[in-house]
Structure 1
Amino acid sequence: MPSASRVAGALRLRSIVVAIKIAAVCALPSGAGAQNDCKGLVYLTFDTGHMGVAPLVAEVLRRQQVRVTFFAADERTQDGGSSLDAQWAPWWRARAAEGHEFASHTLHHVYWRADDGAGFLVRPSAGPQADKTFFMSADQYCAQIDGAASRLRAVTGKEPLPLFRAPGGKTSPRLLQVARDCGYAHVGWTPAGFLGDELPSARYSNRMLLAQALRNIGDGDILLAHLGIWSRRDPWAPAVLEPLIKGLKAHGLCFRTLREHPDYGPRVR
């Protein structure tokens, strides 16, 4: 029969091993606490908006230990400034410290309207030419992508991913080639990943959007949400965000950034 001292020693060793295992799990990247239990991976992304819900979104992401990819433009905000100005810089730096990733959404949120000769017809929703339709050369469009990336570099202290998302997802084959020539790959979203936070809440309630997302989202989906939509009366975030994350985790899905995406990750490694 083992002595009391040997039993006590064994118990202490077992406690140390358990503590080490718990610490290792807690140190894993977001969504990876049950690494071997992942039934699939999803990629949550946020585009900028009026930023009114941004602090609440950050709280949810921090609480759920989920890392996302932010596509940023310098858009008008509820506080009278713009989303990439000095007032918002501390918010962006905090997200960088938490391990989130960043990419361009064009500096002035420039919507593509049509190809036009050597360039494009565009309509920005921000900046000095907001809500005007005009011609933009290929070089000027590249400058818009670079401009948001440069501003992100300044406010986060982190190198943005060589990716961009065209506002509204509106592109043409020629625009995508121009962006590739500038060093950027375009990232849209998958059909199931359209979370509907841009839709009118009178017709698309938060409860309806949550149920639809939990029913349809699966392995490999890229999800799209925003940091505030002006036209939606019943904000999607953060009301739907946390139950959505919890529900997808319960389905065995783990969250990753686009740095870890099989198609886009190799561009940044």
Structure 2
Amino acid sequence: MKRISHNAFTRITAALMFGCFSLAAFAQTAECSKKVYLTFDTGNMSVAEKVAEILKRQNVKATFFLSNEKTFRGDFSLDDSWKGYWQERVKEGHHFGSHTYDHTYFVKDGPKGEVFERPQFGPKAGMTILYNEAAMCKEIRKVDQRFQELTEHPIQKIWRAPGGKTSPVLIRMGDMCGYQHIGWAAAGFLGDELNSDKHPNNVLLEKASRDLKDGDITMAHLGIWSRKDPWAPAVLEQLIINLKGSGFCFGLLPKNSGNPSK
């Protein structure tokens, strides 16, 4: 039998290893042919820990949009009592955006490039107030400042208007302040704030698993007062599993940042 020289053996081994790595890379690419973006608004934080556990177990990253909202514990989501929670999410590599500090809803455009807004929390809760660009920028940026106090980490330069209610004037205000507005896809509305009798969890799971497309942004909350049968964890983990099985990876916002997680 003809013996193979050491150099030839080395070349053959290298070629086989390269082939294996190439196949592995191809398999990863084929496995992750689409991307979806999971996002969570603060809400009442009643399922915040469960959401974090599921994301960690599934090795998936998400983007959180923060307001200083009243929580199920009677405190507020950007109080010092939530410092540990946000610090852990930073360590895990999630992204963060502003949801306006006082969860301030857009009402309508005002005169001279201003907007009427109605804070849900804070000293002016329930009042309809005229905001100019500087005032709106302060409302968006205050979340960034507070988050840095809690975590020593800035949020991404992104924000989301409460309820997704906007106008071109409001979007431009955010842009001028340096924060990109992030909405969600129609299929990305995951329904966690809907009536659970009319929209049961199994129906919401089936709909999202079926309808989400490549590039879609989803939206749910870390807790909702109005839903009797909580959406998380009933839907979240199985939805992630279903999406992985359909070839989705999970990206971070803004879309030009971060590596997708499986």
TM-score normalised over the length of structure 2: 0.86
Label 1:164 to 1:92 Cα distance change in 2 as closer, same or farther (>3 A).
Answer: same
Choose the corresponding residue for 2:194, options 195, 199, 211: 199
What SS is found at the alignment partner of 1:71?
strand
Task: Please list, as runs of the form range in 1=range in 2, the aligned pairs for 1:103-114 lying within 5 A after superposition.
Answer: 103-114=97-108
In structure 1, the gaps of 5 or more residues are: 2-12, 26-32
Distance 1:242 1:169 in 2: 25
* 1:241 equivalenced with 2:236 (yes/no): yes
Deviations 1:156-205 (A, max 9, x none): 32221111000011111011111111111100001111101111111111
What CA distance in whole angstroms lies between the structure 1 residues aligned with 2:79 and 2:221? Answer: 18
What is the rounded CA distance, in whole Å, between the counterparts of 2:233 and 2:29 in structure 1? 26
Change (3 A) 1:59 1:116: same
Which residue of the partner structure matches residue 87 of structure 2? 93
How far apart, CA to CA, are the structure 2 residues paired with 1:70 and 1:103? 6
**Contact 2:159 2:181 (8 Å CA) reproduced:** yes
In structure 2, what is the Cα distance between the partners aligned to 1:60 and 1:184?
29
Q: Write out per-residue CA displacement over residues 60-118 of structure 1, whole angstroms, 9 at most, x where no aligned residue.
A: 00000000000000000111110011000100000000000111010000000001113
Alpha-carbon distance in 1 for matches of 2:236, 2:106? 29
Q: Which residue of 2 aligns with 1:51?
A: 45
**Counterpart contact for 1:102–1:161, Cα < 8 Å:** yes
1:218 and 1:253 in contact (8 A); partners too: no
1:164 lines up with 2:159 in the alignment: yes
Deviations 1:26-66 (A, max 9, x none): xxxxxxx9455212000000000110100111100000000
> Are 1:70 and 1:102, in contact at CA under 8 Å, matched by a contact in 2?
yes
Aligned partners of 1:179 and 1:254: how far apart in 2? 29
Unaligned runs of 5+ in 2: 2-12
1:113-124 to structure 2, matched below 5 A, reads: 113-118=107-112, 119-124=114-119
Q: Is contact 1:102–1:152 with CA below 8 Å preserved after alignment? A: no
CA–CA separation in structure 2 for the residues paired with 1:42 and 1:208: 20
What residue number does 1:6 align with?
A: none
Question: Which secondary structure state, in structure 2, belongs to the residue aligned with residue 49 of structure 1?
Answer: coil
Deviates more, 1:118-127 or 1:237-246: 118-127
Question: C-alpha separation between the residues in 1 aligned to 2:51 and 2:132?
Answer: 36
Match of 1:144 in 2: 139
CA distance in 2, matches of 1:213, 1:243: 11
2:210 is aligned with 1:215:
yes
Pairing of 1:8-27 with structure 2 (within 5 A): none
CA–CA distance in structure 2, aligned partners of residues 88 and 97 of structure 1: 15
Aligned partners of 1:169, 1:156: CA distance in 2, in Å? 27
- How big is the alpha-carbon RMSD for the aligned residues of Structure 1 and Structure 2? 2.5
